[in-house]
Structure 1
Amino acid sequence: MGRQVRRVPAGWEHPKRAGRYIPMRTAGDKLARATEERMPAWPAEACTHWQLYEITTAGTPLSPPFASAKELAEWLASHRVEAAPGFTGTAEQWLRMIESGRDTSTVAMKGKSFVSPLDPP
């Protein structure tokens, strides 16, 4: 299960079709076959909020946008968003993942979960 924190503008609502989120890759992802499969390419200064996406199936949101990384981390922990099947993270663990700035994989060891950045390519 891959996770990615994306910076989005305030008020961003991920598009839906027939009530379901449309998977969207990041703006620069060359694997997207069509423009509608890519996140909009907003200017960096417009992206003031943080939102968690799953990236296993190209990208659908797992959280609403938040004004700070800390607010997102607290929401993820309090809503018991899975870091891996059956495992959640604490607000501190989520915050470490968010602040790493890298796509992540999730790992569970000895019945405890933690969020661990992927090794750089």
Structure 2
Amino acid sequence: MSSYRLRKVPSNWEHPKNDKGSHIPLLDGSYAEYSKGFDERKEMWNKGFQEDWDIVGTKQIPRYVPKASENEGIAFEEWDGEKRLPEAYRPDWPLGEQTHFQMYEDVTEGTPISPVFEKVEDLASWLCQELGDGRYPYPASKWLEILTSQHPSVEMIMVSPNQTPSG
């Protein structure tokens, strides 16, 4: 199963590449939001609490609970991991600049699998052509249904190879 995510990008977006010409993975979302959350979790950790999750329906709701005894004396970064650098995230463009569409895979933490398209319909046609070789035999109308049902919330699109296509 592959995991793809639809991202809105500027019209002139060119995903960065390393010196070997390979795309550099970029996490989706705002670094500023990630950093704020990291700092909040660390502050709560230092006060004796750790993050936990409640599952309500299909949503995970974060909450803080007293730190487990086995976590006493452990540095926050050892428990949660080192704080990521801003370079690990895609640019935090203003919403008005995010006018085009690009499909990313999540397995690599965010590398593009498609060119940038102005219209989501054009991306759906491209996906049909490029991924319709038997791995994901969806007609363009099915890809469009998947893409438009997920946008603009930008939820993850899970695609199973050789699923019976509909649409």
**Fold in common (TM above 0.5):** yes
Structure with higher Rg: it is 2
Q: Deviations over 1:44-80 (max 9, x none)?
A: 1101100000011201000000001101001111223
Q: Displacement, 1:86? A: 2.4
Q: Which residue of 1 aligns with 2:141?
A: 92
**Letter of the 1:87 counterpart:** Y
User: What SS does the corresponding residue of 2:144 show, helix, strand or coil?
Assistant: helix
Cα distance in 2 for partners of 1:26, 1:78 equals 26
1:10 has 2:11 as partner:
yes
| RMSD between superposed Cα atoms in Å | 2.4
1:26 corresponds to which of 20, 24, 28: 28
Identify, as 1 or 2, the structure richer in helix. Answer: 2
Q: Which residue of 2 aligns with 1:72?
A: 123
Identify, as 1 or 2, the structure richer in strand. Answer: 1
Question: Does the 8 Å CA contact 2:100/2:117 hold for their aligned counterparts?
Answer: yes
TM-score, with structure 2 as normaliser:
0.59
Q: Displacement, 1:107? A: 2.9
Identity %: 32
User: What SS does the corresponding residue of 2:148 show, helix, strand or coil?
Assistant: helix
**Letter of the 1:64 counterpart:** P
The unaligned stretches of length 5 or more in structure 2 are 35-80
